[in-house]
Amino acid sequence: MDDGAMVGLIGRVTGTVGPGLVGEVIVRIRGGAEHFLAYPASARERIEPGTVVTVIEYLPPRTVYVAPAYGS
């Protein structure tokens, strides 16, 4: 997958994302939904499960940096 194609996609946190944690998000992609390891785009931010997030950066093959979407 092209790195640029992941950036900007919307996902949902399934495992807490935060400082010192490796979280998890599910992102709709390639006609389905896939899980990715996730880190917060802002190093001090904690993002709870259920929060809608935007992919800010993608590190192949399965890691993303995310930020809350829609002011969540």
- The structure tokens 């992919």 sit at 55
Average pLDDT value for the chain: 93
Look at phi and psi of residue 50 and say left if phi exceeds 0, alpha if psi is from -120 to 50, else beta.
Answer: left
Q: Confirm if 67 and 38 have CB atoms less than 8 A apart.
A: no
Over residues 31-43, the pLDDT tens digits come to 999 999 999 999 8
| pLDDT computed for residue 58 by the predictor | 96
CB-based contact 47:40 (threshold 8 Å): yes
What pTM was estimated for this model as a whole? 0.91
Q: What's the rounded Cα separation, in Å, for the pair 55 and 11? A: 7
Q: What is the pLDDT of residues 9-24, one digit of tens each?
A: 999 999 999 999 999 9
Strand partners, 47: 17
- The predicted pLDDT at position 70 comes to 85
